[in-house]
Chains A and B, each alone.
Chain A
Amino acid sequence: MRRLQSLYPDKRGALLPVLHLAQDTFGYVSLEVEEYVASLFLLSPAHVHEVVTFYTLYFREPKGRHVVAVCHNLSCYLAGARPILAHIEARLGIEAGQTTDDGRITLQSVECLCACEAAPMMQVDDRYELDLTPDKVDHILEGLR
């Protein structure tokens, strides 16, 4: 943490990386986590809140054990992203933006992940899954425990 802060001319530069760390540690960025992080940076919790809510990768509520983010932007749309998303929604019984009851998967529909050469595609946790077909998607979802 201090090491991260020392990398920047002003330690506030480390706010995003520290929030990533906090999320990795606590699973999501709750108001308590925001307060804690604010204290590390001598910022007001409101300032940290403003930052957390600006970015899409910080979760403010508990998320599923896995996050499945299907790209719905132009090239993926042209390659059939809509039927892929519909297929996943049907399989999981949830809509984009929701988490399965067993807490296994949070499903999202997101903007271009810049792997349009392999559309339709999605991000599963840290990995990009490319050139999706319904079969391939089924296989990937089955692998998520």
Chain B
Amino acid sequence: MSEKILTRNFDRPDGHSLAVYRETGGYAALEKARAMEPAAIVDEIKKSNLRGLGGAGFPTGMKWSFIPKDHQGPVYLVINADEGEPGTFKDRYLLERDPHALIEGMIIAARAIRAALGFVYIRGEYVEPWRRFSAAVREAYDAGYLGTGFDIVVHRGAGAYICGEETGLISSLEGKKGWPKVKPPFPAIKGAFGAPTIVNNVETIACVPHIINRGAAWFASLGSKTQGGTRLYSVSGRVNRPGVYEESCSITLRELIERAGGVSGSGRLKGVVPGGSSAPILAAHEIDVVMDVDGLRNAGTMAGSAGVIVFDDTVSVPEALMVVARFYAHESCGQCTPCRESTGWIYKMCHRIVDGHGRKDDLDTILDVAKRGAGTTICAFYDGAVGPYISYIEKYRSEFEALCRS
């Protein structure tokens, strides 16, 4: 088991309070960072091999360095707390149980990118996490950590998965419907309210104080060669002890499932979705993979949000795909034709197959339609939908065929 870093106060009932945070070394990193030049902070984060933990796995220090050096006007820091990727729940834990790690990380990140204002975009359904986090922000104001060169606005979303996509989130923060925008320009050049903006996930920024406190080399050594740190794996589905597990990025999927008490139900594994519902599924024989960004990419899937969903061999993959396809059909923002049309159509086809009215050729048609649209859309939502469509059908084709009439 890895040393507990992000989760060290999770088990304490008062772990979210400023008192406990300080008592366990909180806000010491901030003092250290205040003595550092912004460029030195960016450098430290680069050396730590911290990679974005919201989905895309982009190196955080490098992202911060994209803010134009000669920029005069405001720069914003936006925290993505719109957690919505099916199978993921770790940001909820961080907001409720260690809110000051996010606040301290934000103040340090803001110094690095020279932002005076930060937004935390919390999904609308997260009422309790919003209350908890807002209370922590008030504590930080009262203690003088905030309001002295950096301010935080806590913003509530209103229900739309697509607002988790960073440009959709920015549209929504601007008071519009959450339509993703064409990139480039990237947010670091032209983001929220037209200003250079860094969007980072809650967990990514919660790592920052620890890196500053204990050094980039230490953080890098916790993980794999190309990804530093531990991360929070959300494990659910058919396991004996579902929950948040903090483990090294170099853990294998097999080990992780064991940590979560092993496979429940029949006890026999059928497959695992390793990085939230948009990550292609891995079959039972593919679980010796290392759970870092590159390991999962090489295995043909993705680390995504580290939401691990386990299927035992009693799960019907076609039914599971129908459930997943319904989600993508419901959440497509509708801007791009392939995404809008294909997600709706594929959901209907999955329904038809599960109802016993499908034909074997339908499977090839679904694969063909799915592949044709991939890579052509404004945002990565559609590629995320295509991941499960293709992998579920290709890896479990006989199960689909068994349901087909002809």
Contacts and interface: CB of A to CB of B under 8 A. Distances in A.
A12 B394 CA distance: 46
Contacts of B172: 16
A114 B87 CA distance: 7
A75 B153 contact: no
A36 to B, nearest CB: 16
A15 B178 CA distance: 12
B83 A114 contact: yes
Contacts of B128: 126-128
A73 B175 contact: no
B354 interface: no
Contacts of A54: 160, 177-178
Contacts, number: 146
Contact of A10 (B127, B153, B193, B320): B193
A51 B127 CA distance: 21
Given A12-B174, A128-B128, A116 B89 contact: yes
B234 interface: yes
A22 B127 CA distance: 17
A9 to B, nearest CB: 4
B175 A12 contact: yes
A74 B309 contact: yes
Contact of A57 (B76, B91, B124, B153): B124
Interface in B134-150: none
A40 B278 CA distance: 39
Given A16-B156, A54-B177, A57-B124, A114 B193 contact: no
A84 interface: no
B83 to A, nearest CB: 5
Nearest to B151: A7
A14 B236 contact: no
Q: How large is the interface on A (under 10, 10 to 19, 20 to 34, 35 or more residues)?
A: 35 or more
B4 interface: no
Contacts of B320: 74, 77-78
B319 to A, nearest CB: 8
Please indicate which of the listed interface residues B126, B236, B273, B277 has the most CB atoms of chain A within 10 Å of its own CB.
B236
Contact of A112 (B158, B173, B311, B327): B327
B193 A117 contact: no
Contacts of A50: 177
Contacts of B55: none
Contacts of B177: 50-51, 54-55
Given A77-B320, A111-B327, A51 B86 contact: no
B238 A78 contact: yes
A115 B331 contact: no
A28 interface: no
A139 B218 CA distance: 50
A112 B327 CA distance: 9
Interface in B93-147: 117, 123-128
Given A8-B153, A112-B87, A20 B309 contact: no
B358 interface: no
B156 to A, nearest CB: 6
Interface string B249-270: 0000000000000000000000
Contacts of A9: 74, 76, 117, 192-193, 195
Interface string B65-99: 00000000010100000011111110110000000
Nearest 9 CB-CB pairings of A with B:
A15-B175, A56-B159, A54-B177, A55-B158, A57-B159, A12-B175, A116-B236, A112-B86, A75-B236
Interface of B: 74, 76, 83-89, 91-92, 117, 123-128, 153, 155-161, 172-178, 192-193, 195, 234-238, 242-244, 273, 277, 307, 309, 311, 315, 319-320, 323-324, 326-327, 330-331
